[in-house]
Amino acid sequence: MTQVANVWVSYVSPELQFYRAVEFEQGMTVRQAIDKSGLLQQVPFEQPVHVGIFSVQIADLDHILEEGDRVEVYRPLQANPKEIRRKRALANPVSRYCRGNRFKHLK
């Protein structure tokens, strides 16, 4: 029994979890794997996508894959992390120069 070599293409959004095996061919690129998986037919991407292999982001869609790689398509952030920290700081004002803040969590 021969085992077919695969690469995996994954994408997750609040509406969809996409995880599909694609038959590996020598010299296959990230772009070819995404096209062959059928992801672009299910999810219309308006902007250029960010991709990674096993959680390591890569910049080039023409990166050559190896057998067993998992191509991850990342969606854009829903919120700006700096803005979230700024709002959290406004909601919980704690200054390190204010007397008594060191023990505020014990109340």
pLDDT band at 99 (very low <50, low <70, confident <90, very high): low
pTM over 0.75: no
Instruction: Report the share of the chain in percent with pLDDT over 70.
Output: 84
What class does CATH assign to 6-74? alpha beta
- Determine how many CB atoms are found less than 10 A away from the CB of residue 70: 17
58 contact partners, CB below 8 Å, separation of at least 6: 30, 51, 52
- Determine how many CB atoms are found less than 10 A away from the CB of residue 5: 13
pLDDT at 8: 93
